[in-house]
């Protein structure tokens, strides 16, 4: 499987994401935000965490208007797979690939700790876990409070597009939402960091299954 990991000024989890994909058996190419096209033959795009463009304006808003994001949107609209983590989730929301917005944490403070998650919406990203399984992944964000209007939240629930839900909501997210899927279930945005729990040296490998199952499925497609 061939994966592109996007790099913005201020990205700080791009290499972590690349290492997690490589450990799962992917060929990874790093793609700069000023590039206008993705490399040929890309199956998956990873939009990493960090503080793209210093989080000026709104988190992810400037990055979402980078030249490469037009190619990412086109990739997704053509049925390609996209994983956005933390700042990457914020970027995907700003592009319109995912609904809603990520607001300032309810406690107005940056949070950096491991949290409990419940695995829910069925997708290639969650099939490496049992439905309803509780896992633990790190978070590190100041603006991870997921918000959408009631109609959007009801649609996400009705279509089983809530991929992960906090077991002890750390940031005020609506309905404890930690990650959501696009209508075709090929785009996932999530605030917790699976790439920071993908190696035994991290003390937790709950994130490794996301990358391993995703890679296995797409390589066999």
Query: d(Cα 66, Cα 151) in Å, to the nearest integer?
Result: 30
Question: Catalytic: 33?
Answer: no
Asked if 75 and 39 count as a contact pair (C-beta separation under 8 A), the reply is no
Q: Could you tell me which residues come within 8 angstroms of residue 30 by beta carbon, excluding any fewer than 6 positions away?
A: 4, 5, 7, 14, 18
**Exactly one of 13, 33, 59, 195 is catalytic; which is it?**
195
Closest C-alpha among 215, 22, 17, 207 to residue 129: 207
Closest C-alpha among 81, 98, 6, 86 to residue 50: 86
Distances from the Cα of 185 to the Cαs of 77, 83, 97, 122, 172, in angstroms? 12, 11, 11, 8, 24
**Exactly one of 13, 33, 86, 94 is catalytic; which is it?**
86
**Exactly one of 33, 75, 141, 193 is catalytic; which is it?**
193
Question: Catalytic: 195?
Answer: yes
Distances from the Cα of 169 to the Cαs of 113, 115, 219, in angstroms? 12, 9, 35
Question: Catalytic: 122?
Answer: no
Segments of the chain assigned E as strands: 2-7, 27-32, 44-47, 81-85, 101-103, 111-119, 134-141, 145-147, 162-166, 177-181, 187-190
Which amino acids are annotated catalytic?
A: 86, 193, 195
């Amino acid at each position: 499987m061939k994966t592109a990991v996007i790099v913005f000024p201020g990205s700080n989890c791009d290499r972590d994401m690349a290492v997690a994909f490589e450990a799962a058996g992917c060929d990874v190419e790093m793609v700069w935000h000023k590039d206008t096209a993705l490399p040929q033959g890309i199956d998956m795009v990873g939009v990493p965490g960090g503080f793209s463009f210093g989080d000026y304006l709104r988190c992810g808003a400037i990055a979402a208007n980078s030249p490469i994001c037009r190619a990412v949107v086109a990739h997704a609209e053509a049925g390609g797979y996209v994983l956005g983590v933390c700042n990457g989730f914020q970027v995907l929301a700003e592009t319109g690939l995912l609904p809603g917005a990520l607001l300032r944490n309810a406690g107005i403070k940056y949070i950096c700790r491991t949290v409990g998650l419940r695995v829910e919406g069925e997708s290639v990203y969650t099939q490496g876990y049992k439905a309803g399984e509780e896992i633990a992944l790190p978070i590190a964000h100041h603006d991870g409070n997921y918000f959408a209007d009631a109609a959007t939240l009801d649609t996400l629930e009705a279509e089983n597009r809530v991929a992960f839900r906090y077991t002890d909501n750390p940031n005020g997210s609506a309905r404890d939402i930690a990650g959501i899927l696009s209508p075709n279930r090929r785009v996932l945005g999530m605030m917790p960091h699976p790439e920071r729990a993908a190696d035994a040296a991290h003390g937790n490998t709950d994130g490794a299954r996301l990358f391993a199952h995703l890679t296995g499925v797409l390589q066999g497609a």
